[in-house]
Amino acid sequence: MTRMLIIGPPGSGKGTQAERISERLGVAAVSTGDIFRANVKGETPLGIEAKKYMDAGDFVPDSVTNKMVRDRLSESDVENGFLLDGYPRTTAQVGYLDGILANSEEKLDVVLQLTADDEELVSRLLGRAKETGRSDDNEAVIRHRLDLYHEQTEAVVAKYAERGILTQVDGIGGIGEVTDRVMSTLGDLLKVSAVTGR
């Protein structure tokens, strides 16, 4: 059983890799973006609350995000493991996730960080914006999103590095190439954690 988290900057292919990894490991992919959309579509109380912030272009507060993740992690399909994508994004959320997992006597096995050079990501995202015709993805917006990523996630990454469960994989290259790199790293790590029981 694997419980893991994937972290990566905008444009690193995190969502694509999360789907491929969860398929290969046979665990549920838990994306906060998907959770938000499902709750908004289902018009749940949490979805109605989250929509107010999303419509205003604001971050959904920790309290709402935490409840959504807690509800999702109580569903039966995560009993055999999960891959979290997009959560936790703040150190407060790290603490909350620790609490959720501790209630079930569980903890994260591995935190995978996809790394990539900012300039490479900017050119990748600008190319993608051109292909999809997304006018909101200009260079200033892209650089702002990357700055936010660095501001938000550095403390989260540092926390997991202290616990000895962080591993970094180069996110630049073809999709299949990156997946192979990730699976090779995870294969080595998960064998070790199975033996040590970490």
User: Annotated binding site, which residues?
Assistant: 11-16, 32, 37, 58-60, 86-89, 93, 128, 134, 145, 173
The residues, any chain, with a CB within 8 Å of residue 175's CB and separated by 6 or more, are 13, 16, 17, 20
| Annotation: binding site for AMP | 32, 37, 58-60, 86-89, 93, 134, 145
Q: What backbone phi and psi angles, to 5 degrees, belong to 164?
A: 75, 20
- Angle (CA) 33-177-117 rounded to 5° is 65
Q: Residue 89 catalytic?
A: yes
Q: Residue 128 catalytic?
A: yes
Q: Residue 181 catalytic?
A: no
Question: Of 3, 20, 72, 89, which residue is the catalytic one?
Answer: 89
Question: Of 14, 20, 72, 124, which residue is the catalytic one?
Answer: 14
Question: Of 41, 52, 107, 128, which residue is the catalytic one?
Answer: 128
Q: Residue 145 catalytic?
A: yes
Q: Residue 67 catalytic?
A: no
Instruction: Show the DSSP H helices in the chain as ranges.
Output: 14-25, 32-41, 45-55, 62-72, 91-103, 118-132, 139-162, 175-196
| Annotation: binding site for ATP | 11-16, 128, 173
Question: Of 67, 145, 159, 181, which residue is the catalytic one?
Answer: 145
Q: Residues with catalytic annotation?
A: 14, 89, 128, 134, 145
